């Protein structure tokens, strides 16, 4: 898997993260000092949303105190300052994922980004966009390929696109251990395939999918690749140009930034040809009473008042992540993930969804995973497990994690999910594992 960005990263020359440095990192996150239910907060729900360092909180506050104005509108000083900060944030995000500035589109979240692409293709299928949009047009006989492990945000928009256009949605299934059925992918992705959409990292299974293999299959038949990078951008070094995907999305709130800011990456030539989704002010060149001409990307997709403070805060969050070092963060989370998986696997009656970690299995038969584990405790509902942990101040996610099909595939309606990040410690992982074991005693299933 190609993930390393081709850029200067001084963190690569520094030692791996250790417990002492993680404690220093934790001091930057105000919320981690609070107590919950009489216990120190143990926050293990970063897969849903991450906590924010003081620098991110402060930069958003400072923007409102000093430079608040609408961007790309007006000639006054504040408008100029806000626009400069806004576009500098775009450049910062672009460099973080190895692409050009004008290949980054601001959205409210990753879900909006996927819908933007899907609705743009729908508009193209109605004839919008002229000859340039021909490659986006779908109809009866065309196929969209997804996987059984997708988050609803990377499934439902494609279901709707298939409904609107008459295309067929096809699904790559999962092996019993949670890996993608790559032989099935090779047979499903064929001459009729127009789009292949899949997650870089599963938000339920924690597995890192073989991006290069799927991209090669898709591009081999001329299909477009849409990558859900929500669970990879915060945790792994990411070079979207090297991965050779056509579109990708991720959300700021999962990577130390505020809610309300997401990113869509698209190849420049594709973005310029894709008909817009949201229309209105700021995305036009000329407006008549009967017809309108649109700006090139990325502005053609950024109608209305923009998410200015959130974008600036996302750039600051990226500065923070890069200062620690994405390689070092990935290594630390791998260490936590191994500890989490082995601890949970040792508890009788606990079933972890997805394959074992590669570094933790005899014979090397495991898979590359991030520091995340979704599991079922036999005889105890996931919500009860989560409540038991919360009573000890341990925050985890419970439910189907917006991924009902993958839960159905493994015969469960809900799981408890523990997800780690750069500010988590081995002691916190151990506390969660101990609490899971104790929940079996409490609910009398041990």
Q: Output the DSSP codes for 143-190.
A: EEEEETT--GGGTHHHHHHHHHH--EEEEE-B-TTS-B-HHHHHHHSS
Q: Helix, strand or coil for residue 265? A: strand
Distances (CA, A) of 314 to 33, 297, 319, 344, 376: 23, 20, 9, 34, 34
Maximum distance among all Cα pairs of the chain, rounded to whole angstroms: 71
Q: Are strands 143-147 and 193-199 parallel, antiparallel or unpaired?
A: parallel
Helix count and strand count (H, E) for the chain: 14, 17
Contact 417, 327 (CB under 8 A): no
Residue whose C-alpha is closest to residue 122's, from 141, 133, 137: 137
Q: Are strands 262-266 and 415-419 parallel, antiparallel or unpaired?
A: unpaired
Could you tell me the two tokens for 263? 């990113």
DSSP 421: -
- Give the bridge partners for 418, in sequence order: 373
DSSP 380: B
Edge to edge, what strands does the sheet with 143-147 contain? 104-107, 262-266, 247-251, 224-228, 193-199, 143-147, 168-172
Catalytic residue among 359, 402, 410, 443: 402
The verdict on whether 230 is a catalytic residue reads no
Residues 6+ apart with CB under 8 A from 89: 311, 312, 314, 315
Could you tell me the two tokens for 375? 């599991």
Contact 102, 298 (CB under 8 A): yes
Q: Helix, strand or coil for residue 399? A: strand
Residues classed as catalytic: 402
């Amino acid at each position: 898997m190609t993930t390393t960005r081709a850029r200067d990263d001084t963190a690569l020359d520094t030692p791996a993260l250790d417990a002492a440095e993680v404690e220093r990192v934790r001091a930057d996150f105000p919320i981690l000092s609070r107590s919950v239910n009489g216990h120190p907060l143990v926050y293990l729900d970063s897969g849903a949303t991450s906590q924010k360092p003081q620098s991110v909180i402060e930069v958003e506050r400072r923007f409102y105190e000093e430079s608040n104005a609408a961007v790309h509108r007006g000639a006054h000083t504040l408008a100029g300052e806000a626009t400069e900060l806004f576009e500098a944030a775009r450049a910062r995000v672009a460099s973080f994922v190895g692409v050009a500035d004008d290949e980054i589109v601001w959205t409210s979240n990753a879900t909006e980004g996927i819908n933007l692409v899907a609705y743009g293709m729908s508009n193209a299928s109605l004839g919008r966009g002229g000859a340039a949009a021909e490659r986006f047009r779908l109809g009866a006989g065309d196929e969209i390929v997804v996987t059984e492990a997708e988050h609803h945000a990377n499934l439902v928009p494609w279901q709707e696109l298939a409904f609107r256009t008459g295309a067929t949605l096809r699904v790559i299934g999962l092996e019993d251990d949670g890996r993608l059925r790559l032989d099935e992918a090779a047979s499903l992705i064929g001459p009729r395939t127009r789009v292949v959409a899949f997650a870089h990292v599963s938000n339920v299974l924690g597995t890192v999918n073989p991006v290069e293999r799927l991209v090669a299959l898709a591009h081999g038949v001329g299909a477009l690749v849409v990558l859900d990078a929500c669970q990879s951008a915060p945790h792994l070094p990411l070079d979207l140009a090297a991965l050779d995907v056509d579109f990708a999305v991720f959300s700021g709130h999962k990577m130390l930034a505020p809610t309300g800011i997401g990113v869509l990456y698209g190849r420049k030539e594709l973005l310029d040809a894709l008909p817009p989704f949201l229309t209105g002010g700021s995305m036009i060149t000329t407006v008549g009473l009967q017809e309108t001409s649109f700006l090139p990307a990325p502005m053609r997709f950024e109608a209305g008042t923009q998410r200015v403070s959130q974008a600036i805060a996302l750039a600051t969050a990226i500065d923070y992540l890069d200062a620690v070092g994405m390689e070092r963060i990935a290594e630390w989370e791998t260490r936590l993930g191994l500890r989490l998986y082995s601890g949970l696997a040792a508890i009788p009656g606990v079933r972890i969804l997805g394959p074992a970690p590669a570094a933790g299995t005899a014979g090397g038969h495991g898979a590359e995973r991030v520091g995340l584990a979704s599991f079922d405790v036999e005889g105890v509902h996931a919500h009860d497990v989560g409540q038991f942990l919360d009573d000890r101040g341990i925050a985890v996610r419970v439910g189907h994690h917006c991924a009902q099909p993958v839960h159905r595939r493994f015969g469960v309606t809900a799981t408890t999910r523990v997800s780690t990040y750069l500010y988590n410690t081995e002691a916190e992982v151990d506390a969660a594992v101990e609490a899971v074991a104790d929940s079996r005693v409490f609910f009398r299933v041990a």
